[in-house]
Amino acid sequence: MSFFAGVYLLTKKELKDLFSTPLIYVLTALFSLIIGWLFFNYLILSKDLTRLSIAQAIVNPIFGNMHFLFIFLSPLITMKVFSEEKKNQTLDLLFRSQIRPLQIIVTKILSSLMASIFMISLTLIFPIILWMSGYKEVGVFVTSYVGLALTLLCYTSVGVFASSLTENQILSAVISFCLLLGLMLLVMSSNASANPLIGEILSYLSVPYHYEPFVRGMIRSFDLIYVGSFVSFFIYLTSLSLESRNW
C-alpha cells in the first residue's frame, strides 16, 4: 500500500470519527462565540483609534487572540487521537495492518489539523465584513491564515505526541497544554535573559516568534524551515513513544 493511499484511508476514518462526536461542534461554537465577540469589540474600538491602520487595530489583535485560544483548544482536539486507540486496544489493529507507524502519526496530525482549520474557517466572515466596509488589503489576511494554519500544525503535532504518552485523555490534554504554554513562555524568558545570544536562541525556539511575521504580512523562509523541523521533531518523538510499547 502506497504512503498516500494509507494516509487517505486513515484520514477518511479519522475525520468521520472527529465529526461524529459533539466535542468538535462544542469547541467550534465556543471558539466562534469568543472570537466573534472580540472582533466586534475591535471593530467598535477601531473607530476611536484613528492613528492605527485597520491591520494594526483589528487584524493583528484578532489573529493574536486566535493563536492564544488554540493553546487551549489544540490539546482538547488532539487529546483522544492516540489515548482512545490505546484504551480500546485498536492501536494494535493498526500496527498489525499494512499501515506503517509514520502513516498513522501523519494521519493523526493531518486530521486534527483539518478539524482546527474547520474551526477557523468560520472566521472567514471577518475579512468579508472588512472588505465590504472598504478594506481591500486581502494579502495580510492570506499570510495571517497561512501563519495560523502552520502554527496549528505545530500545536497539533505537540498534542498528538502528548496523546501517544498516555491512555488517559485528560492527562494527555494537560501534558499538551503544559508543553504549549512552555513554548509560549520561551518568548518571555528570552526578554528576561541578559545574554542577547541566549535571548535570540530562546526567541527562535518559541512558536509565537515565527507566527508574528505572518500576521504582519511577511512569509520568511526560515519560519517555514522552523515549522518543518518542529513538526518532524515531534513526529520523531511520537514514533519513539509508540515504539516504547515494545520495550
Q: Which residues bind other proteins (CB under 8 A)?
A: 1, 6, 9-10, 13, 17, 20-21, 88-90, 92-99, 246
The residue (of 97 and 189) whose beta carbon lies closer to other proteins is 97
**60: exposed, middle or buried (Cβ count in 10 Å: 0-12, 13-18, 19+):** buried
Q: Which three cell numbers stand for residue 165?
A: 504518552
The nearest distance, CB 93 to other proteins, in angstroms, is 4
Task: Using the minimum distance from each CB to other proteins, give the nearer residue, 59 or 99.
Answer: 99
Q: Of 20, 31, 107, which Cα lies nearest the Cα of 74?
A: 31
Q: Which is nearer to other proteins, 102 or 174 (CB)?
A: 102
Residue 9 Cβ vs other proteins, minimum distance, rounded to whole Å: 5
Q: How far is the CB of 118 from other proteins (least distance, A)?
A: 18
Nearer to other proteins by C-beta: 11 or 60? 11
CB of 76 to other proteins, least distance (A): 18
39-45-49-54 Cα dihedral, nearest 10 degrees: 20
What DSSP letter does each residue of 144-197 carry, written as one string? HHHHHHHHHHHHHHHHHHHHHH-S-HHHHHHHHHHHHHHHHHHHHHHHH-SSHH
- For other proteins, the closer CB: 6 or 127: 6
Which one, of 93, 87, 39, lies nearest residue 66 by Cα?
Answer: 39
- Name the residue nearer to other proteins (CB basis): 22 or 134: 22
Grid coordinates belonging to 142:
492570506
Nearest CA to 242 among 142, 105, 115, 61? Answer: 105
Q: Quote the least distance from Cβ 85 to other proteins, whole Å.
A: 9
> Phi-psi category of 49—alpha, beta or left, where left has phi over 0 and alpha has psi -120 to 50?
beta
Q: Least distance in Å: CB of 13 to other proteins?
A: 6
